[in-house]
Amino acid sequence: MTKRALISVSDKAGIGDFARALVGAGWEVLSTGGTLATLRAAGIAATAVSDVTGFPEILDGRVKTLHPAIHGGILARRDEGHLAELAAHSLGTIDLVCVNLYPFRETVARGADFAEVIENIDIGGPAMIRAAAKNHAGVLVLVDPADYPLALQPEVSQADRRRLAAKAYRHTSEYDAAITTHLEGVRETGEGLPEHLTLNLSRVASVRYGENPHQPGAVYRLGSERGPVLDARVVAGKPMSFNNYADADAAWALASELAMQEDQPSGTRAVCVAVKHANPCGVAVADNVQAAWEQARDADTLSVFGGVVAVSRTVDLAAAQSMRGTFLEVLIAPDVTPEAVEWFAAKKPDLRVLAAAPDANTGTLDVRPLSGGFAVQRRDARPWEDLCPEVVTQRQPTEQEWLDLRFAWAVVKHARSNAVVLARNGVTVGLGAGAVSRIWAAERAVGNAGERARGAVLTSEAFFPFDDVVRLAASAGVTAVLQPGGAKRDPEVIAAANELGVSMVFTGSRHFRH
């Protein structure tokens, strides 16, 4: 009996060669709509599904495969009873289902209107995939062009059939989750979060272990999201580790935010961010990558050792050579010149050098694991332009202080709470992050800055419950402070700033980061 394959795909990569090979091996190919036209245009003999069902496609193609002649042929067990029942109704088996689905996610991503999005919800495709996967003992189900060669083998093992079935169910599961997410408005309304949230994770990288050698680890993609680090090109160095991914993502996020501040010096200059354990330890903007790196490095030479660095501009040979004396784990940039790649490979073979994915996005959700569940929030993406900074002291910040305050505000937003940042002339001179007390964070930042605190500005990601941080900052020579405001003792804090001649700005927006 001639075997029959049903082919109906949106992704037509390789489909002509695959169908031609099936026909050459004696298969009969059934097809629908655009796939049928593609196959016939390529000179491949293919039978229209409507010729099998005896019923034309209707409702603008919404109904074409939802018919017993199709689903009976897919779902029939290859035993005497089911085969006899098919024969009694003059139906034949379908032994291979090659289907991938309407481009729903791609349609949403390009901003199509709601009516077009709805038309790209596939109905017949998932039904055929699920039917074939259920009956995988007798039916091969293919949703990925990479699996086409397997189907051309003389025999396909039950283990491979089961693997293909699992892959098929994952394909439809992810598709349904994308539809659910869109209709519940997670990406559409910008308000709240849905009652039910499905996280579709697919492994994209294996790592030797997690945060520590005794913890297995891997890196996963959320749905169809693309990440600047997740999809970066490794142009030199060793494979990435679990911690490398986390630190590089943190460094790139801050570098990207600063690079977008067009009214800052960073808008037309290079940004360099050094990160250690997901906290910034040195940040600078300068005329070129080499200068930005040297200033960020010198901001905290102890902490930058073994750190991860992100820069906002292409790394050339001069910038690469300036990193000679510092041990780094990862360097990520928009691009790296061939000369720099060659130098890194020869002089720093262990350094992972990445070119960030240019078409990536940061996503909208921040997902944190809990025992037995997850805490989910929208990413902290509130831009400076949405704030209404208010000067609450008698002394106004100078133009340079405003630039440094905004620069430091971006940095402190990316540091773990409690966090305090000192900056001057587009360079961090002192950082205190991850402290359980705000005054301790300030003491760490001021101590780290030393004499560089004189003329610097200070930012805090949350309000001051007391005036102690202002008094400490003023004693070190800080001239301007930015904080959210909103504490009960704000009048006392403002009075202290006025007494000490320090400018203070309230943003009205805090940025806790845990």
Contact 409, 383 (CB under 8 A): no
Q: Which of 89, 134, 196, 413 is catalytic?
A: 134
- Please, which residues bridge with residue 333 across strands? 355
Contact 332, 357 (CB under 8 A): no
- Please, which residues bridge with residue 330 across strands? 308, 352
Closest CA to 417 of 470, 380, 471, 451: 380
Q: Which of 182, 277, 413, 514 is catalytic?
A: 277
- Spatial neighbors of 462 by CB under 8 A, at least 6 apart, are 417, 418, 438, 483, 484, 510, 511, 512
Cis status, amide bond into 418, omega within 30 of 0: yes
- Spatial neighbors of 34 by CB under 8 A, at least 6 apart, are none
Largest CA distance in the chain: 97
SS3 state at 277: coil
Contact 231, 361 (CB under 8 A): no
DSSP for 160-185, please give it.
Answer: HHHHHHHHHHHHHHHHHHHHHHHHTT
Contact 330, 306 (CB under 8 A): no
DSSP for 101-162, please give it.
Answer: ---HHHHHHTT--HHHHHHT--SHHHHHHHHHHHTTTT-EEE-SGGGHHHHTSS---HHHHH
Q: What are residue 460's phi and psi, to 5 degrees? A: -130, 140
What is d(CA 295, CA 278) in angstroms, rounded to the nearest whole number?
19
Closest CA to 332 of 248, 444, 433, 217: 248
Contact 313, 288 (CB under 8 A): yes
- Please, which residues bridge with residue 345 across strands? none
Q: Each residue of 262-275: b (16+ CB within 10 Å) or e?
A: eebbbeebbbbbbb
Q: How far is CA 512 from the centre of its chain?
A: 21
Sign of torsion over alpha carbons 79, 50, 154, 100: negative
What's the token pair of residue 262?
Answer: 């067009």
What's the token pair of residue 181?
Answer: 């997410």
For the question of residue 134 being annotated catalytic, the response is yes
Closest CA to 478 of 509, 445, 508: 445
Active site residues: 134, 277
